[in-house]
């Protein structure tokens, strides 16, 4: 059973090394990448099956007892996030066969993809604060190189903003970790929760809590730390943007939910309302930024910001129903948004650009892709019977039960604005007639795809849209599972006992 915790980190590492050693053959790289991604997905499914009833697994690497060694811990929340990582990783690897050009592959696209997946899985499974920092840095290095791969001027400009802001977040992370270590002598999650439950010292703990809030808030693109994301995520290829949107900001959300439900729980009368204010501002600023855009990828990048607010809403309300809704929403939005970015990549491949004013006629030209976009867009907006409806319904119900009417009103308003912006894309890119003179970007190949390439673009979209439909149709059992994950977050005693062998 201990191997189940290590495999989601070990398999991406081996796949990354394998593709790095086989860089001379693009075809073999594709085969290794897909095979490794499929193995990663299988290991994530096995881990979730093992933990679906609410169990917890822990392993001490090197047989050093906690809190002195490197601890990996898997509860239901982390298992769900690892499965999300594997699903996104597999579909991105499949999509990349047709969507990523040969120069990027030769310069290490596939190794970077799998090293990034390794870092994300490690962040979800680590049991101590320092190793969470290490995995953050693995993600930062891999994502930075993926951003600049291709060497275009816009990519370098976006990457500089991305890495500068994220290095600031890393610095604040280290300062916060130093404050905690100076106070408690440990950075193990379970040991921190154990010691702070005995002797909280609210003033010192709150200082480090604010540092972590800012650091993780930058990673998650929370207001007012979101400005780097729309300027960075729209510049790389759609496969990279889908990967980033589905996973990187979700690691920041995961870190916030993990630490502020387990470690920094001594002043929830302050942090709860603070999270609700940040959630509302993140939703509003993100959705109004999206409405103002005229380019598909940049519009969807602003929606990444907006949707993070819903997860923060659940953390701010801090009930089992609210946290269950936040976890379900995080899973839903990662899947739906990755599907939408895949559609953007398909549009860019056919037309050479994604400027809405210069698009049109895609419904007649690619009816299947148009329908897939519509389904994913309606799910993102929160219409029934898609997963987005049940995610938002759960959060709104939790808000009403907690008498948090202001954030409920904001969530409903932002949902309507999301629908409006999705309708804008539909009308401009798919519904209206194509321009009389169809101009394509000279930097890309001819706009017409070969049949094989076309289906390599479309199949990952079908898989992700299918998942979001199934999540809506099977919302009750999935919400029961996220409810058990939320229960574990609210009661960390079993987590602590599994890692340390003692109770707080």
What pLDDT shows up at residue 151? 66
CB 287 within 8 A of CB 306: yes
Report the pLDDT value the prediction gives residue 442, as an integer from 0 to 100.
Answer: 40
pLDDT band at 450 (very low <50, low <70, confident <90, very high): low
Q: Which residues pair with 500 in a beta bridge?
A: none
Residue 440 half-sphere exposure toward CB, CA atoms < 13 A: 13
Rounded Cα distance between 20 and 233, Å, is 25
Residue 441 DSSP one-character state: -
Residue 498 has pLDDT above 50, yes or no: yes
What pLDDT sits at residue 455? 81
469-479 pLDDT, tens digit each: 999 999 999 99
Check pLDDT > 90 for residue 94.
Answer: yes
Report the chain's mean pLDDT, rounded to a whole number. Answer: 89
- CA dihedral of 361, 365, 368, 373, whole degrees rounded to 10: -30
Structure tokens at 48: 């979730």
Statement: residue 446 has pLDDT above 60:
no
**For position 441, what pLDDT does the model report?**
47
Which of 110-124, 264-278, 368-382, 490-504 shows the lowest per-residue confidence on average (mean pLDDT)? 490-504
DSSP string, 448-496: PPPHHHHHHHHHHHHHHHHHHHHHHHTHHHHHHHHHHHHHHHH--HHHH
Q: Does the pLDDT of residue 415 top 50, yes or no?
A: yes
| Confidence tier at 343 by pLDDT (50, 70, 90) | very high
Q: Distance (Å, rounded) from C-alpha 391 to C-alpha 382?
A: 8
pTM: 0.93
CA gap 356, 286 in Å, rounded: 19
In this predicted structure, the answer to whether residue 118 has a pLDDT above a threshold of 80 is yes
Closest Cα partner for 287 from 330, 230, 340, 341? 230
Cα 196 to Cα 374: distance, rounded to the nearest angstrom: 48
> Quick check: 117 pLDDT over 90?
yes
Instruction: Name the residue with tokens 């075809």.
Output: 27
Q: Does residue 452 carry a pLDDT above 60?
A: no
β-strands 70-74, 57-61 pairing:
antiparallel
In this predicted structure, the answer to whether residue 236 has a pLDDT above a threshold of 90 is no
């Amino acid at each position: 059973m201990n191997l189940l915790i290590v495999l989601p980190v070990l398999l991406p590492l081996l796949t990354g090394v394998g593709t790095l050693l086989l860089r001379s053959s693009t075809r073999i790289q594709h085969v290794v990448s897909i095979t490794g991604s499929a193995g990663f997905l299988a290991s994530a499914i096995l881990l979730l099956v093992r933990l679906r009833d609410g169990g917890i697994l822990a392993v001490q690497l090197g047989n050093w007892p906690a809190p002195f060694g490197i601890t990996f811990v898997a509860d239901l929340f982390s298992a769900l996030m690892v499965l999300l990582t594997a699903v996104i990783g597999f579909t991105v690897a499949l999509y990349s066969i047709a969507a990523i050009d040969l120069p990027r592959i030769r310069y290490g696209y596939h190794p970077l993809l799998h090293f990034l997946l390794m870092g994300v899985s490690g962040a979800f499974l680590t049991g101590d604060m320092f190793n969470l920092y290490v995995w953050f840095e693995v993600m930062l290095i891999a994502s930075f190189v993926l951003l600049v791969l291709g060497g275009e001027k816009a990519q370098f400009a976006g990457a500089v903003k991305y890495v500068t802001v994220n290095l600031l977040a890393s610095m604040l992370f280290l300062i916060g970790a130093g404050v905690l270590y100076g106070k408690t002598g440990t950075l193990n999650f379970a040991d921190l929760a154990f010691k702070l439950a005995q002797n909280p010292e609210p003033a010192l703990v709150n200082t480090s809590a604010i540092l972590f809030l800012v650091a993780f808030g930058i990673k998650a693109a929370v207001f007012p730390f979101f400005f780097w994301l729309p300027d960075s995520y729209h510049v790389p290829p759609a496969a990279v943007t889908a990967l980033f949107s589905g996973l990187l900001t979700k690691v920041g959300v995961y870190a916030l939910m993990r630490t502020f439900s387990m470690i920094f729980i001594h002043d929830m009368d302050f942090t709860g309302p603070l999270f609700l204010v940040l959630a509302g501002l993140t939703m509003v600023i993100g959705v109004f930024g999206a409405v103002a855009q005229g380019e598909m990828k940049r519009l969807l990048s602003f929606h990444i910001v907006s949707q993070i607010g819903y997860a923060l809403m659940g953390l701010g309300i801090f009930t089992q129903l609210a946290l269950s809704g936040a976890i379900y929403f995080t899973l839903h939005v990662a899947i739906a948004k990755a599907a939408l970015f895949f559609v953007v990549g398909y549009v860019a491949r056919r037309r050479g650009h994604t400027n809405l004013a210069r698009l049109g006629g895609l419904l007649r030209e690619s009816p299947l892709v148009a329908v897939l976009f519509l389904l994913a867009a309606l799910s993102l907006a929160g219409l029934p019977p898609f997963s987005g409806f049940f995610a938002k319904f759960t959060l709104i119900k939790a808000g009403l039960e907690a008498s948090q009417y202001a954030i409920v009103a904001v969530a409903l308003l932002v949902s309507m604005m999301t629908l409006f912006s999705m309708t804008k894309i539909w009308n401009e890119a798919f519904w209206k007639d194509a321009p009389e003179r169809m101009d394509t970007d000279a930097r890309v190949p001819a706009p017409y795809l070969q049949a094989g390439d076309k289906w390599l673009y479309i199949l990952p979209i079908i898989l992700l849209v299918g998942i979001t439909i199934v999540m809506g149709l099977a919302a009750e059992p999935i919400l029961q599972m996220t409810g058990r994950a939320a229960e574990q977050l609210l009661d960390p005693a079993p987590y602590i006992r599994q890692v340390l062998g003692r109770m707080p």
